[in-house]
Chains A and B, each alone.
Chain A
Amino acid sequence: MTTQTVTTRTPPPRRLPSMSVLGPILALVILVIVGALMNSSFLSAGNINNVLSRSAFIGIIAVGMTFVITAGGLDLSVGSMAAFIAGLMILVMNAALPSLGVGVPIILLGMAVALVAGILAGLLNGFFITTLGIEAFIVTLGSMGIYRSLVTWLADGGTLSLDFDLRTFYRPVYFDGILGIAWPIIVFAAVVIVGEILMSRTRFGRHCAATGSNAHVAHYSAVNVDRTRLATYAMLGLLVGVATIMYVPRLGSASASTGVLWELEAIAAVIIGGTVLKGGFGRVWGTVIGVLILGLIDNILNLTDLVSPYLNGAIQGVIIVLAVILQREAKAKG
């Protein structure tokens, strides 16, 4: 049924896979070649590990964002939400330190707080959007401001810092890994694999696409539209929690400037990857390419001296738009 509804509306992008698939990959390959030519240390294991680790936060969040956007939604609050959850996690862990002491239990407590807070925050967004029927843009714009203010308030305008011994104990979660691959990369990869299977192989993925494509038709096709949407927001919240778990051990602190503009980076990564902004079609692996493109641009600009640092933002903007144009033109030709 769902496939039918998609087919009757517009010719689905799946019909022309080869070129629209090539666009983002081509952009990524070009970027890697440019980077390698500009600096010999670009392809070193250390640099690749660095770039992938720090892209993992946005990456994990962007996988969740792919589902939200595919189901026809949007979430602007993820950056602020990450900052708020990081602040909450730090406060709880510091408060529990006298009773629990430095050890695995307190880390697990912190992680549980992050995951639960993430799911709750996501459900709250989803509740206002689905049950009360308020525009997603407005709801999440509101919660973006709320979480940002809350973390500023919690930190009294300053910075919340994890206890030093606790941070030393927790630190390996960001910096260590297995066989030289850092934990954030491993977690990111796991999230992507689960996300890809969920999106392309399960009923939930098909329901997301159907809901985003045409909510009314999906509704008459026995898809529970509201529940699907609510689930995408809850899942995104959960993934924001996961990203925060990887983020906190890095610097052990959260402040009002944590996670600024993460929401836009995540949305940009999703769109570069070929997911349709107005919903109805999404691909998780494309989002990964989008995340890598964004991460590499920053890295290459830092590694080379060709461009004035004042223009970094402009270069990023041009590459984002180019990556999408490449895709659209390819589609039209295809």
Chain B
Amino acid sequence: MSYMKTLLAGTAAIAIAGSAMAQDAETRVIGVSIPAATHGWAGGMNFHAQQAVERLEEVYPQLDFVLSTAPDAGTQVNDIEDMVATRNISALVVLPFESDPLTPPVQAVADSGVWVTVVDRGLSVPGIEDLYVAGDNTGFGRVSGEYMASKMPDGGNIVVLRGIPTTIDNERVAGFEEAIAGSGIEVIDMQHGNWNRDDSFNVMQDFLSKHPQIDAVWASDDDMAVGVLAAIEATDRTDVQFVLGGAGMKEMVQRVMNGDTMIPADVTYPPSMIATAIEMTAVGLTSTAPVSGTFTIGSVLITPENAEQFYYPDSPF
């Protein structure tokens, strides 16, 4: 059904483009290609992309947007080829599904003179894109680790739930391990919860059976934190002091805001970085302000003091 929405959005965009083109020959088109909303974070990213497109279409009458969402890398390549062939785009904002399969087609787009903005996941070959809006996975792990270390000055035993085995996950864990090195915190177990609530529930249940003393949990993701919390609630264990998730899901941000002791903080990996990329691309096309280069979105620690500014009640994530 998400296809249908995309289709509708696409048709609407074409209709708008048609009428706009009649008025103004100088209309330029920005293509936005992102993965479909198959999990919480991607859902949030889709939401912010749509919001940004709606806002910018009003602000810049001379710009048109084509937004397409792809369920896999192959479809994303097709989407991008279609955009170039039929919409004559002046700029492409792409969040690659996977780096390797997307590199050659995006390179071809860049070679044809189209402005290319890459978001979050980089391409395999450096220097293709004009603007790179990057998420900082190592930084995400580091901020999480530093918070753990400050929260547990005397050290302690923690368990870690990892995501789907990918470079993203490896960078996060590496950043985390580096930050807790020498703090007295010991990672007594690590398993993949695959960024999935059910998987992390099972893993946490088994961790609780296996280890008599767990002081804290780095769930490394808010969806996984939900599963972890449910597993802890089902037992009468009181040894787990807190759970640190990540990404900034609105339910978790709300718990931080309310001063929940089990969820004392969260670390952002904002899905709204897609909006940053679209906005900057629009600025680049319509003004003389230079926007090329790399723009890294830092991961920020959400605490009860600043939680309000990270709370988006309308977002699905």
A128 within 8 Å of B (CB atoms): no
Interface pair A310/B165, CB less than 8 Å apart: yes
B122 within 8 Å of A (CB atoms): no
Which residue of the partner chain B has the closest CB to A182?
B234
Point out the residue from A152, A256, A260, A302 that lies within 8 Å of B210, measured CB to CB.
A302
Interface pair B40/A159, CB less than 8 Å apart: yes
Interface pair B1/A303, CB less than 8 Å apart: no
Given the complex, which residues of A lie within 8 Å of B4, measured CB to CB? 153
Interface pair B227/A158, CB less than 8 Å apart: no
Point out the residue from B44, B195, B205, B315 that lies within 8 Å of A50, measured CB to CB.
B205
Given the complex, which residues of B lie within 8 Å of A312, measured CB to CB? 192
Taking CB atoms and an 8 Å cut-off, the chain A residues in 220-267 that contact chain B are: 250-251, 253, 255-258, 260
Taking A41-B210, A157-B316, A251-B230 as contacts, is the C-beta distance between A257 and B5 under 8 angstroms? no
How near does chain B come to A56, taking the closest CB pair, in angstroms?
Answer: 13
Which residue of the partner chain A has the closest CB to B4?
A153
Interface pair A158/B43, CB less than 8 Å apart: yes
Given the complex, which residues of B lie within 8 Å of A149, measured CB to CB? 1-3
Taking A158-B40, A253-B197, A255-B40 as contacts, is the C-beta distance between A303 and B230 under 8 angstroms? no
Interface pair A299/B206, CB less than 8 Å apart: yes
Taking CB atoms and an 8 Å cut-off, the chain A residues in 32-53 that contact chain B are: 39, 41-42, 44, 46-47, 50
A150 within 8 Å of B (CB atoms): yes
How near does chain A come to B121, taking the closest CB pair, in angstroms?
Answer: 18
Interface pair A302/B47, CB less than 8 Å apart: no
Which residue of the partner chain A has the closest CB to B317?
A158
Taking A39-B210, A253-B226 as contacts, is the C-beta distance between A156 and B37 under 8 angstroms? yes
- Distance A153 CA – B165 CA, assembled complex (angstroms): 27
Taking A152-B2, A157-B2, A158-B316 as contacts, is the C-beta distance between A255 and B210 under 8 angstroms? no
Taking CB atoms and an 8 Å cut-off, the chain A residues in 146-183 that contact chain B are: 149-150, 152-153, 155-159, 161, 175
A331 within 8 Å of B (CB atoms): no
B196 within 8 Å of A (CB atoms): yes
B190 within 8 Å of A (CB atoms): yes
Taking A157-B2, A299-B206, A302-B206 as contacts, is the C-beta distance between A152 and B191 under 8 angstroms? no
Which residue of the partner chain B has the closest CB to A54?
B202
A309 within 8 Å of B (CB atoms): yes
Taking A256-B37, A310-B165 as contacts, is the C-beta distance between A157 and B1 under 8 angstroms? no
How near does chain B come to A34, taking the closest CB pair, in angstroms?
Answer: 15
B contact residues, total (Cβ < 8 Å)? 43
B72 within 8 Å of A (CB atoms): no
B287 within 8 Å of A (CB atoms): no
How near does chain B come to A251, taking the closest CB pair, in angstroms?
Answer: 5
B46 within 8 Å of A (CB atoms): yes
A135 within 8 Å of B (CB atoms): no
Interface pair A157/B230, CB less than 8 Å apart: no
Interface pair B209/A47, CB less than 8 Å apart: yes
Taking CB atoms and an 8 Å cut-off, the chain A residues in 291-333 that contact chain B are: 298-299, 302-303, 305, 309-310, 312
Taking A157-B46, A302-B202 as contacts, is the C-beta distance between A41 and B209 under 8 angstroms? yes
- Distance A319 CA – B43 CA, assembled complex (angstroms): 36
Which residue of the partner chain A has the closest CB to B206?
A302
B201 within 8 Å of A (CB atoms): yes
Point out the residue from A42, A158, A256, A298 that lies within 8 Å of B44, measured CB to CB.
A158
Interface pair B205/A54, CB less than 8 Å apart: yes
Interface pair A50/B206, CB less than 8 Å apart: yes
- Distance A310 CA – B198 CA, assembled complex (angstroms): 18
How near does chain A come to B196, taking the closest CB pair, in angstroms?
Answer: 5
Contact flags (1/0) for B174-218 with A, using CB distance below 8 Å? 000000000000000111100111100111011101100000000
How near does chain A come to B161, taking the closest CB pair, in angstroms?
Answer: 11
Taking CB atoms and an 8 Å cut-off, the chain B residues in 1-44 that contact chain A are: 1-5, 36-40, 42-44
Given the complex, which residues of B lie within 8 Å of A44, measured CB to CB? 209
Q: From A158, A305, A309, name the one whose CB has the most chain B CB atoms within 10 angstroms.
A: A158
Taking CB atoms and an 8 Å cut-off, the chain A residues in 115-158 that contact chain B are: 149-150, 152-153, 155-158
How near does chain B come to A243, taking the closest CB pair, in angstroms?
Answer: 13
How near does chain A come to B48, taking the closest CB pair, in angstroms?
Answer: 11
- Distance A156 CA – B227 CA, assembled complex (angstroms): 21
- Distance A229 CA – B184 CA, assembled complex (angstroms): 62
- Distance A41 CA – B197 CA, assembled complex (angstroms): 24
Given the complex, which residues of A lie within 8 Å of B47, measured CB to CB? 156-158
Point out the residue from B37, B165, B198, B226 that lies within 8 Å of A157, measured CB to CB.
B37
Interface pair A155/B316, CB less than 8 Å apart: yes
Given the complex, which residues of B lie within 8 Å of A299, measured CB to CB? 206
Which residue of the partner chain B has the closest CB to A156?
B316
B251 within 8 Å of A (CB atoms): yes
- Distance A251 CA – B230 CA, assembled complex (angstroms): 7
Interface pair B207/A302, CB less than 8 Å apart: yes
Given the complex, which residues of B lie within 8 Å of A54, measured CB to CB? 201-202, 205
Point out the residue from B5, B40, B44, B209 that lies within 8 Å of A303, measured CB to CB.
B209
Given the complex, which residues of B lie within 8 Å of A150, measured CB to CB? 1
- Distance A255 CA – B222 CA, assembled complex (angstroms): 14
Interface pair B40/A309, CB less than 8 Å apart: no
Taking A158-B37, A256-B37, A309-B190 as contacts, is the C-beta distance between A153 and B5 under 8 angstroms? yes
How near does chain B come to A295, taking the closest CB pair, in angstroms?
Answer: 9
Interface pair B197/A152, CB less than 8 Å apart: no
Please report B residues at the A interface, Cβ cutoff 8 Å: 1-5, 36-40, 42-44, 46-47, 162, 165, 189-192, 195-198, 201-203, 205-207, 209-210, 223, 226-227, 230, 234-235, 251, 315-317
Q: With A153-B4, A251-B201, A303-B210 given, name 15 new contacts (CB 8 A).
A: A42-B209, A54-B202, A149-B2, A149-B3, A152-B1, A152-B2, A152-B37, A156-B43, A157-B38, A250-B230, A251-B226, A255-B197, A298-B202, A303-B209, A309-B192
The 5 closest A-B pairs by CB, nearest first: A157-B37, A157-B43, A158-B316, A153-B1, A302-B206
11 cross-chain CB contacts under 8 A: A50-B206, A152-B2, A152-B37, A157-B38, A250-B201, A255-B40, A255-B197, A298-B202, A302-B202, A302-B207, A309-B190
